[in-house]
Amino acid sequence: MNFADPETYRSGINRVLISEDEIKEAIKKAGKMISDSYDGRPLLLVSVLKGAFVFLADLCRAVDVPCEIDFMEAKSYYADTKSSGSVAITMDLKHDISKYHVIIVEDIIDTGRTLSEVIKLLKAREPLSLRVITLLDKPSRRVVELEADYSLFTIPDLFVIGYGLDYGEYYRNLPYIAEYSEGGGEDA
């Protein structure tokens, strides 16, 4: 598909599932919960790139206690709408996490394979504690036993875009979460 064409781009947005305002309100609550839980403790927020970078940016601004951030990249989708089943860590953290309470900031938990591998890797590095917060949870697709410590939204088995989530590297800039439609759908 030629996403550079505005009409083709718009046709991929089927319908808005979670509005910008709903996201902002949920992040405000999550930021307060993290602030209350980690006040006075060394806190590291770890974003799993690329999808979670938008969520991390807004979440860290909603946290009003000192925290640091770091990034890692793990891939399982490549340029498709279904997980490949193969997880690759393509960029690792810079921090020694043994000195921190670590919160993995994830965009979406789908099959759970990617996050499960990230958790195993980070647990082996012996952080003071390790928790997971996810913007979106899709439990109907889970193939490994995994639950986030905190999920902002639970969604049905749909391929979603926006707010950092993409299809073929497009749609990350949408300020809301929408259902992607390969054949086109309703305009958002």
pLDDT digits (tens, 9 = 90+) for 112-145: 988 998 999 999 999 999 999 999 999 998 999 9
CA distance 150 to 137: 10
Between residues 77 and 15, the one the model is more confident about: 15
Average pLDDT over residues 79-99: 77
In the sheet with 101-109, reading across from the earlier edge strand, the strands are 88-91, 68-75, 43-49, 101-109, 129-137, 150-154
Q: What is the pLDDT of residue 1?
A: 62
Average pLDDT over residues 95-103: 97
Q: Which residues are catalytic?
A: 110
- Does 6 reside within a domain? no
pLDDT tens-digit readout, 168-179: 889 999 999 999
- Kindly tell me the burial class for residue 141, based on how many C-beta atoms sit within 10 Å of its own C-beta (0-12, 13-18, 19 or more): middle
- Does 183 reside within a domain? no
- Does 3 reside within a domain? no
- Kindly tell me the burial class for residue 2, based on how many C-beta atoms sit within 10 Å of its own C-beta (0-12, 13-18, 19 or more): exposed
**What is the CATH classification number for the domain harbouring 60?**
3.40.50.2020
Q: What is the pLDDT of residue 77?
A: 53
Of the pLDDT bands very low, low, confident and very high (cuts 50, 70, 90), residue 6 is confident
Q: What is the pLDDT of residue 181?
A: 86
If one counts the domains in the chain, the total is 1
- Does 10 reside within a domain? no
Q: What is the pLDDT of residue 183?
A: 62
Of the pLDDT bands very low, low, confident and very high (cuts 50, 70, 90), residue 186 is very low
Q: What is the pLDDT of residue 86?
A: 66
- Does 66 reside within a domain? yes
Between residues 8 and 55, the one the model is more confident about: 55
- Does 109 reside within a domain? yes
- Does 4 reside within a domain? no
Which domain covers residue 122, as residue numbers? 16-178
Average pLDDT over residues 42-49: 95
Determine what percent of the chain is predicted with pLDDT higher than 90: 71
The pLDDT of residue 79 is above 80? no
- Does 48 reside within a domain? yes
**Tokens, residue 36:** 């209350």
What mean pLDDT is reported for the chain? 89
Q: What is the pLDDT of residue 182?
A: 78
